[in-house]
Structure 1
Amino acid sequence: MSVKLYQPFDTFNFSNNKCFLTGETLQSSEEKIQVFPAWLMSRYDLQDQPFKLLDESMATYKDLKIPCSATVNERYLEPLEQEIAEAFDGGFEGVQAIDQLKLFQWAGKLLYGIIFNEIQMAIRQSHAQGDEFNISQSIIHKFSNLHLMLQSINLPLVFEEFKPFSLFLFKVNNPENEFAYRDEINTLTFSIRLKDFGLIISLQDNGANRNYHRQILEKIEGKTLHPIQFEEFSGRIFYSAYLFNRLPEYNILPVGEEIYIEAMSLKGMSTKPLFDDWLGKTYGQVLESFWKRWGFLLFEIIKNPEHPMTFLLDEDENFIPAENIELGL
């Protein structure tokens, strides 16, 4: 029996009677799982914390759920959650030891869960106003590819000599019990900072962001970061993910019981660079948001627009050790 992929964006069925991962019909609309796993919510007391959606409405972390077959949850998702929970318990070293694909699957499932909720809400609002639900083709393309990759959780998908993501993991001197989470669903970018580590994943770039930042990575990778340094590097990734101007394309090749995913060249027929121009002022606005807890304002950050404020590198372009940064955590 050949393996069959589920493509929810072909029919745009985001009802609660189909499993988000496989498309199989559920026994009940109550067959759901939490988007943010229970183990994470309980450790950081997130259940009733506010979570802002794209339309500016507020939910709580525990409100966010997605329809999921009990069998799929038990067979595939719960073991993944257990593996990630144990890795997170081990801090930086535990997360460093786990397969990067597992981290991608976990972060991707979480981000897709948020996307699913956003789409459901947008469809409801459109119908309530008597309008047709509209979404750009480029966003559908991105979300559809992410869902395709997520099926590596439950299907024998093989990524043919590429990773669909860029992943960055750092040891960070975080305050005890801090939980910092951020996402940008339009660019499919994710970051989380807790215990003694920070993790950033650009979920749909075929490694382009890692290559784009390779020069600074050579100086900071393997170093322990102050939280403001991690947030600065996160700001760089979130901004460059916004500048990334390609929509990755893939060939899907069923071979026996497996499905091979082959990435097509990001360059394609275009001579245009993969990333649009980096603008100091726009990047400064990103930093202002990421550095909010430390109170830096845009005019301070971009006093010199060509060289915005940085805590990562000194004037000689050398890494600034975390212990040399005199700021509150």
Structure 2
Amino acid sequence: MQFSDAHCFLCGTTITPDQRTPVFAEWLQTKYNLQHKELLLLDKSVSTFSQLTIPCCDSCNINHVIPLEQEIAQAAEKGMTGFKDLSEQKLFQWIGKMFYGTLVMELIKEADPLIMPEYAVSENPKMQGKFQSFFMVLQSLRIPMVFSDFMPCSLFFLEIDPTEDELPFEYQDELTTMAFSIKLGSVAIVCTLLDNGIIKRALGKFYKITEGQKLHPVQLAEFKARVFYAAYIFNVVPDYFIRPGKPEDEQLILDTLIDDVTAEVFNPWEMTAYAHMLEEMLKPWSIREKDILQNPAQPLSFIVDEQNNFKPLQTFSKV
């Protein structure tokens, strides 16, 4: 695991300055006209999607990154059906590459920042441990690897109603909690990395309510808030182990272990903290925390009614 422009982000081999690959693939930039769209990095410097590239050796790029992006691009053409037909492992690798690529660039920037972030990621020992675990499972992108009875992430698929949807592309991540969301046209994928699917199980009933439904963008924002907050209170880091193999084996098998004895899997869900997260997600609609917590026992929801049934919503009007 190397955080420098002189080493491949995936295999760590020494490379030349011109050996790089886009964090967000060229097909994605072209399809959604992202090349000149600006991104604000943690050190307050500004980049664009086309400038956001990571060091990558020719072997990893040609044999692993480009073929993966081609497969995802083909799936994206088919919308929700295409994404659901992909293996979860492929989607994990694709999202993992974008997440980790962003992380690599942020950590390279931290070595010579425009403005030093208040909470430098590189100075957080717990985060270093998480990134090392994540780097291990991300190697499945270049090494034949089987995850034994688990997937190192939670994946949520949501369909968006086009009536008031004005953003064909949307992307958001949170490096410290390893939460990620990306919206491509009418399909939104929300993901929490390095949780072994625990957050998906925890939010299973809520997620099921949205299945088969078309969400208004404000409902998508609420769903993201719930997932991102669940990632915020997720309190354990899985350990991964390579199962002992035989010389003739053609793939690695990974097992996992979560220490839920000395640590609670989730910290307590605090309604005020969740409301703050939801307020952040609902900024485009000018909804404030006081609106969300009018009834503290049952915070504002655009997805479910008081009986926890789905609330259809095509057009939004602030009450």
Q: Same-fold call, TM > 0.5?
A: yes
Among 286, 289, 306, which residue is 1:315 paired with?
306
Partner secondary structure for residue 199 of structure 1: strand
Superposition RMSD on alpha carbons, in Å? 2.1
Partner Cα separation in structure 2 for residue 266 and residue 205 of structure 1: 12
1: CA distance between counterparts of 2:84 and 2:144?
A: 24
Residue 24 in structure 1 maps to residue 17 in structure 2: no
Query: Which of the numbers 192, 199, 204 marks the counterpart of 1:202?
Result: 192
Per-residue deviation, 1:327: 4.1
Aligned with residue 107 of structure 1, among 92, 95, 101: 95
Q: Which amino acid aligns with 1:136?
A: N
Cα drift, residue 50 of structure 1 = 1.3
Q: What's the CA shift string for 1:217-271, capped at 9, x where partnerless? A: 232223221221111111100001000011111222242342221111341x22x
Name the structure 2 match of 1:245.
235
CA shift for structure 1 position 96:
1.3
Q: CA deviation at 1:124?
A: 2.5
| Runs of 5+ unmatched residues, structure 1 | 1-7
Task: Classify 1:161/1:29 alpha carbon distance in 2 versus 1 (closer, same or farther; 3 Å).
Answer: same
**Partner AA of 1:227 in structure 2:** P
Give the CA deviation at 1:15: 2.3
Give the direction of change, closer, same or farther, for the CA distance of 1:146–1:265 in structure 2 (3 Å limit): closer
Equivalence for 2:210: 220
Q: 1:263 aligns with which of 243, 256, 259?
A: 256
Q: Could you tell me which amino acid in structure 1 is paired with residue 269 of structure 2?
A: W
The letter for the 2-side match of 1:273 is: E
Match of 1:14 in 2: 3
The equivalent position to 1:302 in structure 2, one of 293, 298, 310, is: 293
Instruction: Calculate percent identity across the aligned residue pairs.
Output: 35
Q: Which of 290, 294, 300 is the aligned partner of 2:281? A: 290
CA contact (8 A) 2:170 2:182 kept: yes
Between stretches 64-73 and 105-114, larger displacement belongs to 64-73
SS in 2 for 1:63: coil
Could you tell me whether the CA contact under 8 Å between 1:160 and 1:262 is conserved in 2?
yes
Distance 1:134-1:238 versus aligned 2 partners, 3 A rule: closer
Distance 2:244 2:43 in 1: 39
Q: Unaligned regions of 5+ residues in structure 2, if any?
A: none
Q: Which amino acid aligns with 1:22?
A: C
Could you state the TM-score of these two structures normalised by the residue count of structure 1?
A: 0.88
CA deviation map 1:253-293 (0-9, x unaligned): 242342221111341x22x5311111112111111111111
Q: Is the 8 A contact 1:314 1:320 kept in 2?
A: yes
User: Once the 2 structures are TM-superposed, how far is the Cα of residue 177 of structure 1 from its aligned partner?
Assistant: 5.7
Cα separation, 2, equivalents of 1:146 and 1:265? 14
Which residue of structure 2 aligns with residue 4 of structure 1?
none
Moved more, 106-115 or 306-315: 306-315
Contact 2:179–2:193 (CA under 8 A) maintained in structure 1 = yes
Which of residues 217, 225, 241 is equivalent to 1:235? 225
The one-letter code of the counterpart of 1:119 is L
Number of corresponding residues = 309
Hey, what's the Cα distance between the residues in 2 that align with 1:260 and 1:231? 37
